Amino acid sequence: MRAAWRVARADLWPLLVTMVVVALTVAITVAVPTRLADGADSAVRSAVADADPPADLVVTSTYGPGNSDATADASDTVSSVDDAARATVAAMPRSLEPVFGPPTAAATSTDLGVSTARVPAGGVLWMTYLWAGSEPAVRWSAGSAPGAPGADGAVQLALSDAVARTLGVGAGDTITAIKPDHSALPVLITGVFEPTDPGAPVWSALPQVLHPQVGGAANAPTTVVAGLLSAASLPAARAALEPDGVTRTFRFPVDAGAVDYAGSGALVRRLAALEADPATLQAPPPSPRVTTQLDAVLTQARERVAATRSQAGVLLTGLASGAALVLLVAAELLARRRAEVLRTVRARGASLGDVARRSGVEAAVVVGLGAAVGVAVGLLVAPGPVTWPWVAVVVVVGVLVPPGFAMATAARSEARRVSTDLHQRRLAGRVRAVRRVSAEVALVVLAAAALAVLRRRGVLSASDAGDLLLAAAPVLVAGAGAVLLWHAVPPLLRGALRIARRSRRAGPLLAAARARSGRSVLPFVALVVVVALAALAGTLVATARAGQAQGAWDVVGADALVRTPSPDPTLLDVAERLARADGVAAVAVGRVQEGVQVFGVRGSPEVRVLAVDPTAYARLLAGTPFGAAPGLGRLADASTEAGRPSSAALPALVDGALLGHRVSLRWGNVTVDLDPVGRVPALPAQQPDGTPAGPTVVVDRAALAAVVTAAAARDADATAGTAGSSSDRADVADPNTVWVVGPRAATAARTTGTGTTTLTREQWLAERRADPLTGALTSLAIFVASVSAGWAVLLVVLGAAATAPGRARSLATARVLGLRRRDSPRVAAAELLPATLVAALGGTLIGALVAGAVVAPLALRLVTGQSVDPHVVAPWWLAVPAVLLVATVVAVVAGESSARRRESLGQALRIR
């Protein structure tokens, strides 16, 4: 035991390096999965909370034709709605109880037409009975609650203040609702109310009860309102709307906080079972249906989590591989330092097994301690379950590698170092070369196969169980690249040696000769791989951040975007106000219409139509990364010529696929012939909700209005002989979007008032970067880049330590011969720097190239939020590892020089 400690103490620092590397790697492999699991829970909850429409569970049931009784009293409502809701709650599977809150029940009529003095046309009325444990609490500002029909036979209904104001009616008024069969239904407004608690969940079942919804074109608005039935008035409403004009819904609100990633898979399966078999919930007959977005939302969220895990798996595999390489180099150094001891031990009769056992016990102690510290630190940083397989891999590598090197060194020590027989030397060299080439070819083939599989299948196809080949593909490619790069080193050093030999001076010769003879494949390959991993992770981070920024432009299309739910001419005023605002450089207003069908080409594809003022839009694009768009100038010129209200085709910029075709598009009820005058310039590639925009057709908004109006007039002439006036069609190209660019565009856009939605680039970017999964992955990539850079520094130190004794001897000899002291650090630096620089620069290049090859299969678009794969961005700070490694070499040389200063030259040469 004491002897073992003595041996260990002599090589304390390589053992400490091993322990630190094991501890750090284990800590990371313990903490990262827990952090990712936390991120996965947050992501799932966010997805559920942000679902639009909400991911509630909705049970829908009609009454069935002929099941109403106008004379029934409130008990009929209680049994058919209130009690049915209670029965559904009771039938809710126990496992779903924590996920869904108490239901809100509603019995709502079909769409009824309504017209009043204030809403002469386009009015839609829903009559609804609401219940959430009780009927909603209200304060009557006029009249009273509805009841059974009076002598007039009218269905009795109550309206909220807001709805009554919108319709321009009050308590005691009777309005006429138009049923789907166009027959009239008298409705008596018995009272007008204010909700006691407007925020009560019951109102969310049908928000139009409190908030009238006004939409549609400015000159033909649609007004959707809802009125409140009571338990007493519902039976009459049901009878009036026979057959089956009232539908019951039981809405169970989802509690996002009760959902987590681990339980989400089972939850999706249970929800699917419920949807397939609504009877489980004992929903009232005759035709109950269970619907929810929750399973789809969870499935999407799980896919994103799985993608993030796969992406993180690639990074973690790289990190662990880097650690394994450091452990290998540390073990090699340890064996090299102990070569004499091992030779002696063997000479005394110890078997290779004995050597391996002694080394293994020492490694087990060192690695065990490191792993224990790592687990403790990992749990401290991120409390949670430990991912033991990762820990086991690190420990196994750490324990097995040192005995392997010790045995190899001990076995080598029996042979004569260099055979004096030239033939034997050449033979041995050839055997070594064949072995090396075989291993290298195997590695290159494996790396190529892994990369091919990764590029074909993508990392998202990796199963939870592993697909280690996919995760390890970048490391394998980096390793293969490192091996190939290794072959460039000898010619380089030979060239340097040739130059040094021609020199007059001793230093260059000494440095070049030592650099050439001291080269060792393992430290070099390890260094290239970890630098490549640092560069890969760094490139991925930079690519992701740049992609997110580009994604923000793609989604918003400007610094800020103001939208209305439907085309609205008032946006022209909004645009004018924004154009005058401080810090606004350019404003463009337009109509964005998705899903417009194009004819005249195969498949009649759907396109996005962008109807803009070409000049203003071109000015706006010039202030964005999309840049100048000369095509818009051509469009403006062509549109001016074609602006007359004639039969001329509409000038348009179209995708390349549409160029050269006689194409037309359907705009409302009118077919518009297009005159393609050029290609669509670079434009925002996504819709504001993040979905891909698809092919785009850009037209002049004014020209579109003119052409559509003329075409509609011709159609009207042809069919009815009466022309609709142009003014009737003035809204055909009303805008629904305003784009704003400028340093204070976002601030200005936020003040556009109600009825509009504002989306700013900064806001989108901030939300994207704050996303738990995106944030976790980006942080992990930064961490992997930093740790890999740390591994690289360690490898340079270990590599220098391995060659330090030989360097010290050579420099001591040279010093005895008269080499100046100040020259010896330069010689040492010149020896170490070439291979280090080749490894650093080559590794950086390999890392950036690997990043380019794996950006698409890694599905980085999920991180950037883009609809397409982001462009690879290699940032300037990829050079940091190279600078760091040069600084490390300088520090190592200074340290060695300082240590040599304490040694007597006379002693240095006595013992060989």
Residues that bind another protein (CB under 8 A): 417-418, 420, 501-506, 509-510, 513-514, 516-518, 806, 809-810, 813-821, 904-906, 909-912
- Report in angstroms how near the CB of residue 895 gets to another protein at its nearest: 20
- Pick 76 or 831: Cβ nearer another protein: 831
Is the CB of residue 117 less than 8 Å from the CB of residue 223? no
Q: What's phi and psi for 841, nearest 5 deg?
A: -70, -45
- Report in angstroms how near the CB of residue 811 gets to another protein at its nearest: 9
Is the CB of residue 192 less than 8 Å from the CB of residue 164? yes
- Pick 167 or 812: Cβ nearer another protein: 812
- How far is Cα 312 from Cα 447, in angstroms, rounded to an integer? 20
- Report in angstroms how near the CB of residue 414 gets to another protein at its nearest: 17
- Report in angstroms how near the CB of residue 20 gets to another protein at its nearest: 32
Rg of the chain on CA atoms, in Å: 38
- Pick 158 or 804: Cβ nearer another protein: 804
Q: Which two tokens stand for residue 559?
A: 């610094």
Q: What is the DSSP string of 258-275?
A: G--HHHHHHHHHHHHHHH
- Report in angstroms how near the CB of residue 501 gets to another protein at its nearest: 8
Burial class of residue 408, CB neighbours in 10 A (0-12, 13-18, 19+):
middle
| Residue 80 DSSP one-character state | I
- Pick 687 or 813: Cβ nearer another protein: 813
- Report in angstroms how near the CB of residue 805 gets to another protein at its nearest: 11
- Pick 123 or 518: Cβ nearer another protein: 518
- Pick 9 or 910: Cβ nearer another protein: 910
> Long-range contact list for 902-907, CB < 8 A, 24+ apart?
903/808, 903/812, 905/812, 905/815, 905/816
- How far is Cα 145 from Cα 190, in angstroms, rounded to an integer? 6
CA 486 to chain centre: 37
- Pick 65 or 805: Cβ nearer another protein: 805
Query: Measuring CA to CA, which residue among 582, 569, 610 is closest to residue 749?
Result: 582
Is the CB of residue 617 less than 8 Å from the CB of residue 632? yes
- Report in angstroms how near the CB of residue 9 gets to another protein at its nearest: 21
- Pick 499 or 723: Cβ nearer another protein: 499
Q: Which two tokens stand for residue 518?
A: 């001291």
- Report in angstroms how near the CB of residue 495 gets to another protein at its nearest: 17
Is the CB of residue 513 less than 8 Å from the CB of residue 478? no
Query: Measuring CA to CA, which residue among 566, 567, 570, 571 is closest to residue 589?
Result: 571
- Report in angstroms how near the CB of residue 526 gets to another protein at its nearest: 23
- Report in angstroms how near the CB of residue 888 gets to another protein at its nearest: 23
- Report in angstroms how near the CB of residue 824 gets to another protein at its nearest: 10
Helix (H, G, I), strand (E, B) or coil at 699: strand
Tokens 């992955």 sit at which residue?
777
Is the CB of residue 564 less than 8 Å from the CB of residue 217? no
Angle between helices 468-486 and 823-854 (to 10 degrees): 140
- Report in angstroms how near the CB of residue 454 gets to another protein at its nearest: 43
- Pick 217 or 513: Cβ nearer another protein: 513
- Pick 754 or 907: Cβ nearer another protein: 907
- Pick 550 or 824: Cβ nearer another protein: 824
CB atoms within 10 A of CB 464: 9
Secondary structure, 3-state, 477-509 = HHHHHHHHHHCCHHHHHHHHHHHHHHCCCHHHH
- Report in angstroms how near the CB of residue 884 gets to another protein at its nearest: 28
| Residue 692 DSSP one-character state | B
| Residue 420 DSSP one-character state | S
- Pick 815 or 826: Cβ nearer another protein: 815
660: left (phi over 0), alpha (psi -120 to 50) or beta: left
- Pick 351 or 517: Cβ nearer another protein: 517
- Report in angstroms how near the CB of residue 5 gets to another protein at its nearest: 24
| Residue 132 DSSP one-character state | S
Which residues face 177 on adjacent strands? 114, 185
Q: How many helices (H) and strands (E) does the chain have?
A: 27, 21
Query: Measuring CA to CA, which residue among 911, 901, 912 is closest to residue 815?
Result: 901
Helix (H, G, I), strand (E, B) or coil at 764: helix
133: left (phi over 0), alpha (psi -120 to 50) or beta: left
Q: What's phi and psi for 254, nearest 5 deg?
A: -80, 140
- Pick 507 or 881: Cβ nearer another protein: 507
Angle between helices 388-413 and 339-347 (to 10 degrees): 60
- Report in angstroms how near the CB of residue 803 gets to another protein at its nearest: 11
- Pick 721 or 906: Cβ nearer another protein: 906
- Pick 269 or 821: Cβ nearer another protein: 821
Is the CB of residue 836 less than 8 Å from the CB of residue 886? yes
- Pick 347 or 905: Cβ nearer another protein: 905
Is the CB of residue 797 less than 8 Å from the CB of residue 888? yes
Q: Write out the H or E segment, with its range, that includes residue 861.
A: helix 861-864
Q: Which amino acid is at 850?
A: V
- Report in angstroms how near the CB of residue 6 gets to another protein at its nearest: 21
Beta-carbon contacts of 112 under 8 Å, excluding residues fewer than 6 positions away, are: 124, 125, 126, 127, 177, 178, 179, 185
- Pick 474 or 508: Cβ nearer another protein: 508
Is the CB of residue 323 less than 8 Å from the CB of residue 25? yes
- Report in angstroms how near the CB of residue 812 gets to another protein at its nearest: 9
- Report in angstroms how near the CB of residue 765 gets to another protein at its nearest: 56
